[in-house]
Structure 1
């Protein structure tokens, strides 16, 4: 038995595509989709109640809006499968998704003699809502994360042994990588599984997204310091960009913050109008990273 655990919050349009793809798996073993709704108010729950016949593998559970870490822990607790697959609710997978994870896990166990390993599939970013699986892999899709919940398969008992997700991560970021540190301490190995492809949809960049993106970086900085408190290592400092190298890098590139969402707004708007939203977003990442670094140090000073 396999359990696909998905937390969701106000993502109904792309969630429909996510679930439809999971219902079309070419997989010889029984599986379930444990969907944990984290307090959505966009009609997600009503839609699923009205279309239960379309999603026979889905088991829906509801909770108040408490964040992804608690939602995933709820999914772990309620999952009936021995293997848990984590994906996000804005991921659309191919028909061989589960089979690819299963083959890679079996191969790793045959080589290592135990199940002390997990598989990490490919995540391809796209803003093509109509046909998300048409996107090609690019260099920007390369991930160096050890454990990330966008596309991963792992035996349930290892998640329990590691203590599951730390629920003190209530804002955006780092809860999955923090769990990855604990899994690594248990001796688990990362097995790349490029054939388990998930297409991560997000809307094309617009100027209207800037306030939310700025807020996300502030949250990421605060949660990054929480990550460092729990694991005060140089590796974690590098992950959360709490080094003088990152201060200099993003400080120089943003001209000490002079290049920001206000000063660059005309350029970003022009690029979006020219049909180049991805380029606009990459430029915006300069000051967004600067905000993240500033937030990390501000949060660190506060706890110190």
Structure 2
């Protein structure tokens, strides 16, 4: 059915989530849409549940059987009614045209993903090439605060849309990338979509402000756990998507990143983490994409 299902993974951010929902409920959008909340917080949020019950197009799921951003994305799209899926973070502000600007280009058959515009409110908006994936370093550049409408290599997880059929075709979001902060899960998804022959389109008019809440979400505070997820997931990306000389240069760049952390934190033990995480990531990169079937569509 043609319409948009907005999937919002959330974790311990009730107040931010309420404000996000309020912005979504006043969309200037002529087609049907729904809001799917996938809450992995420890406790059931009765405030959000009561709020959701006031609207026919909001579904609230409190999930404790599993935890992870890729898992939440996969559970979410499997619960949806409509053909187009929009993923946004739970701590955003948007104007009334967010859905219509995504919908505009999702209707095109050759478009697999629409990367929306993102302005970071409390972090620097770096001046880099928008949505560029640099193969020689395996680095996904952002720059989604810039203006324009053109093809890119990848989208950012806080604001991107795709089609349910494409999620089926590529095997969903890879749950092998759920470790730690689930780094690069959206990058991997977009690169797999491109390999299928679809385009990734950046549309700055499909814009939101990312508030980057200080607590909650899949943020990892401990440097050991963060570095493990960074090395592991980046190694998966290198193994799965990088070939030839670029693979070697990407490996060297990753080691350079790790050495910078070793120097900054004065912890040689981080090198042991690097070796273990790199090995695990390379093995995971050779395996099939993991997407659990949470429910029959």
Same-fold call, TM cutoff 0.5? yes
Of residues 172, 175, 191 in structure 1, which corresponds to 2:185? 175
Structure 1 pair 202–148 and aligned structure 2 pair: CA distance change class (3 A): closer
Q: Which residue of 2 aligns with 1:300?
A: 278
Deviation at 1:26, TM superposition (A): 0.8
Of residues 15, 28, 31 in structure 2, which corresponds to 1:13? 15
Q: Which residue of 2 aligns with 1:148?
A: 156
Structure 1 pair 35–169 and aligned structure 2 pair: CA distance change class (3 A): same
Residue 71 of structure 1 aligns to a residue in which SS?
Answer: helix
Does residue 257 of the first structure (1) align with residue 245 of the second (2)? Answer: no
Deviation at 1:248, TM superposition (A): 4.3
Deviation at 1:234, TM superposition (A): 5.8
Residue 154 of structure 2 aligns to a residue in which SS?
Answer: coil
Residue 30 of structure 2 aligns to a residue in which SS?
Answer: coil
Q: Which residue of 2 aligns with 1:283?
A: none
Of residues 211, 232, 249 in structure 2, which corresponds to 1:201? 211
Of residues 167, 170, 174 in structure 2, which corresponds to 1:162? 170
TM superposition score normalised by structure 1: 0.70
Q: Which residue of 2 aligns with 1:122?
A: 117
Residue 194 of structure 2 aligns to a residue in which SS?
Answer: helix
Structure 1 pair 56–136 and aligned structure 2 pair: CA distance change class (3 A): farther
**Higher deviation after alignment, 160-169 or 139-148:** 139-148
Distance 2:102 2:189 in 1: 20
Contact 2:27-2:97 at 8 Å conserved across structures: yes
Deviation at 1:126, TM superposition (A): 1.6
Contact 2:184-2:233 at 8 Å conserved across structures: yes
Contact 1:6-1:89 at 8 Å conserved across structures: yes
TM superposition score normalised by structure 2: 0.72
Residue 60 of structure 1 aligns to a residue in which SS?
Answer: strand
What value does the CA root-mean-square deviation take over the aligned residues? Answer: 3.5
Distance 1:22 1:148 in 2: 19
Q: Which runs of 5+ in 2 are unaligned?
A: 129-141, 145-151, 284-297
Of residues 106, 127, 133 in structure 2, which corresponds to 1:139? 127
Q: Which residue of 1 aligns with 2:26?
A: 24
Contact 1:122-1:196 at 8 Å conserved across structures: yes
Q: Which residue of 2 aligns with 1:226?
A: 236
Structure 1 pair 211–52 and aligned structure 2 pair: CA distance change class (3 A): closer
Distance 2:272 2:205 in 1: 38
Larger helix proportion, structure 1 or 2? 1
Bigger Rg, structure 1 or 2: 1
Distance 1:34 1:41 in 2: 18
Contact 2:227-2:274 at 8 Å conserved across structures: no
Residue 259 of structure 1 aligns to a residue in which SS?
Answer: helix
Distance 2:119 2:79 in 1: 29
**Higher deviation after alignment, 219-228 or 19-28:** 219-228
Distance 1:210 1:75 in 2: 23
Distance 2:77 2:229 in 1: 25
Residue 75 of structure 2 aligns to a residue in which SS?
Answer: helix
- Higher normalized contact order (CA 8 Å, seq sep 6+, divided by chain length): 2
Residue 139 of structure 1 aligns to a residue in which SS?
Answer: coil
Residue 25 of structure 1 aligns to a residue in which SS?
Answer: coil
Structure 1 pair 261–42 and aligned structure 2 pair: CA distance change class (3 A): farther
